Amino acid sequence: MKRTPLIRKTPLQARRGFAATAVIREAKKRLTAAFDESGKALTAYPRKTLTAKPKPKPTKAERERWAAARVRGCVACYLNETERFCCRASYGQSLEIHHLLSGGRRRGHRFTVCLCEHHHQAARLIFADLGYQDHAVMYGPSFGREPRRFREVYRDDDALLALQDWMIENLPARFPEAA
């Protein structure tokens, strides 16, 4: 069996996948940690560390926009005309902010819509004795479980964002307990 190493014909692309969203920190090659009794330096060779880039925190205006979106209710429930029941049944406080995506990445804190717990991730079902499929028939698909079907039913992200902006400007507060 031949034991020569494989030689790549094309170089590896280092800035793809997780490496594209991470910062690689290289320490100096030699780091003096301490000295022994004879005065000889004890050295260490640190490894490269890979840490995620910190995400920017939302500004005060963005947090106020989230609160304004929460008190107006779920965008998908508004389109279904079931917002009084579904948002209330999702326990008022659990109206969640969904960050819209572009190419699998968050677009930013400004690009958000309010969804109830069912339409966001369907983690907790409204009726415990019914399954997810029954809920999907009654209230529509969940973004977390069926993203493609969710976009077919409730339109694309830009249309949802435009509807959320319209709801904030024109609708009165419906769920003050969600603020």
- What are the pLDDT digits (tens) for 95-121? 889 999 887 788 889 999 999 888 888
pLDDT recorded at residue 165 = 96
Residue 152: predicted pLDDT: 93
Calculate the CA dihedral of residues 76, 126, 150, 123 and round it to 10 degrees: 120
Dig out the tokens for 174 from the structure. Answer: 């419906």
What is residue 4's predicted lDDT score, i.e. its pLDDT? Answer: 63
Q: Which of 6-20, 66-80, 127-141, 157-171 has the highest mean pLDDT?
A: 157-171
Q: Quick check: 151 pLDDT over 60? A: yes
Q: What is the CA radius of gyration of the chain?
A: 25
Angle between helices 60-72 and 157-170 (to 10 degrees): 80
Tokens of 120: 């966001």
CATH architecture of residue range(s) 60-178: 2-Layer Sandwich (3.30)
First to last CA, the chain: 69
Q: What is the mean pLDDT of the chain?
A: 78
Going from N- to C-terminal start, the domains of the chain cover 17-52, 60-178
pLDDT of residue 170: 95
Kindly report the pTM of this predicted structure. 0.66
Residues 14, 105, 126, 71, Cα dihedral to 10°: 150
What one-letter code names the amino acid at 148? Answer: R
Which pLDDT belongs to residue 27? 46
CA–CA distance, 94 with 110 (Å, rounded to integer): 20
28 confidence band (pLDDT: 50, 70, 90)? very low
Give Cα 127 distance to the centre of its chain.
Answer: 26
Percent share of the chain, pLDDT over 70: 66
> Which CA distances in Å does 17 have to 14, 20, 24, 108, 147?
9, 6, 13, 19, 22
